[in-house]
Amino acid sequence: MNTSLPELILKHGREDSVIRRHPWIFSGAIHRVEGTLAAGDTVRVRDAQGRPLGLAAWSPASQIRARMWTFDVDAVIDDDFFRRRIVVAAALRATLFDETETNAYRLLASEADLLPGVIVDRYADVIVCQFLSAGAERWRETILQALHERFPSSIFYERSDGEAREKEGLPVRVGVIGDQEPDFPCTVRENRLLFAVDPETGHKTGFYLDQRENRALLGRSVRDAEVLNCFSYTGGFAVHALAGGAAHVTDVDVSAEALRLARRNIELNALDHARYTQQAADVFHYLRRCRDEGKQFDAIVLDPPKFAASKSQVDKAARGYKDINLLAMKLLRPGGLLFTFSCSGHMPLPLFQKIVADAALDARRDARVLHVMTQAGDHPIALPIPESWYLKGLVCRVE
């Protein structure tokens, strides 16, 4: 055990979550810090009795004041530590994908891969990195070097931006890493279908990789159906639906740029433009207009952005989910399918199910759950971290 590290002493009774291997230590749980610490430095965590609990990264600007790197009290946080973590994560993905079918996936999923604040997505020959915590920032060069060693011919791009960096007191960093200039958007394969992805300007790192398996399920479920794809972004669900034989798909999104890329994705897969329509509109307003005009569909996809960024926002989020699900229920023909999602980590599945059930009740429709959906396997759920199970979805048959 390295005895020279600074030490973080928890308040009495505040060690339980760490013992249960949840990696976040909030400021209110800390009794004192012994030694000098800069942002991202490694600190040994001890309980109030002085018993060692593991090693963490110090983050003085965040309410999450420390994030556990490891619960092994004898571990050493060095270059080899991160290389080993990356090797394990890459080996897991190798078991999940045949790259002739899918070459876009999440390689490192932050806490779920035991690397808090580190997100790395692979889009064919482009590696997109996000360093979202002080600890991740401290070890950025080491992590990049390990990734370069594993993917020597790839182009690297950084998207260290967004609210998470701000909360950590870190500046935004976006751009190419190294000398190779990427040609965006890049083209990737997902379930043998082609998609254009723009890591430079797209949401997150450019594409919602976590919906891969759910898009495939939709494609298998909507042959000859008229499909409404809400919050469509770049048309991932639409492409799978049309490839699966849907009679017609309408994409609805507020972003004209996202819809432009969605149309490109239709073209990449040589799908019939006559079976595809776009609407640049606010989804809430569009659903109400469809209701007022008496429109009906055989299947509707609701994949909204995060409605609850914190626990305090869950009640407001519940009203938003209730509203769109109620409207969608009214627009479905008897026997229609509702693919409905929440990507809010603070929205538990039982509450989401209740919201959808209440929407069906208010719509005077009978609905049964045919499938319960979640994020794809390259976005693993860490059992001690409920927040890592963020994507919940239901496929409901509505009578």
H or E element at residue 233 = none
What's the pLDDT tens digit per position in 233-290?
Answer: 999 999 999 999 999 999 999 999 999 999 999 999 999 999 999 999 999 999 999 9
Residue 141: per-residue pLDDT:
98
Residue 85: per-residue pLDDT:
97
pTM score of the predicted model: 0.94
> What's the Cα-to-Cα distance from 77 to each of 42, 61, 94, rounded to whole Å?
7, 22, 26
Cβ(140)–Cβ(132) below 8 Å = no
* Intervals of CATH 3.40.50.150 along the chain: 208-398
Cβ(143)–Cβ(136) below 8 Å = yes
User: How far apart are the C-alpha atoms of 68 and 51, rounded to whole Å?
Assistant: 15
Residue 3: per-residue pLDDT:
66
Q: Sort strands 30-34 and 186-190 into parallel, antiparallel or unpaired.
A: unpaired
306 CB burial (10 A radius; 0-12, 13-18, 19+): middle
Q: What are the residues whose beta carbons fall under 8 Å from the beta carbon of 55, sequence distance 6 or more? A: 5, 42, 43, 44, 45, 68, 69, 70, 72, 73, 75, 77
To the question of domain 208-398 being in CATH 3.40.1260.10, the answer is no
Mean pLDDT of all residues belonging to the chain: 95
Our answer to whether residue 343 is catalytic in this structure is: yes
Radius of gyration of the chain (CA): 23
Residue 390: per-residue pLDDT:
94
> What's the Cα-to-Cα distance from 296 to each of 225, 232, 328, 334, rounded to whole Å?
11, 18, 9, 10
**Looking at residues 352-376, what average pLDDT do you find?**
97
Q: Please report which residue ranges of 209-348 form alpha helices under DSSP H.
A: 212-221, 236-243, 256-268, 283-293, 314-331
Annotated catalytic residue within 129, 186, 230, 343: 343
308 confidence band (pLDDT: 50, 70, 90): low
* Intervals of CATH 2.30.130.10 along the chain: 7-70
User: How far apart are the C-alpha atoms of 261 and 257, rounded to whole Å?
Assistant: 7
Q: What topology is assigned to 7-70 in CATH?
A: 2.30.130
Residue 317: per-residue pLDDT:
77
Multiple choice CATH, 79-186, 3.40.50.2300, 2.40.10.10, 3.30.1360.120, 3.30.750.80: 3.30.750.80
* Intervals of CATH 3.30.750.80 along the chain: 79-186
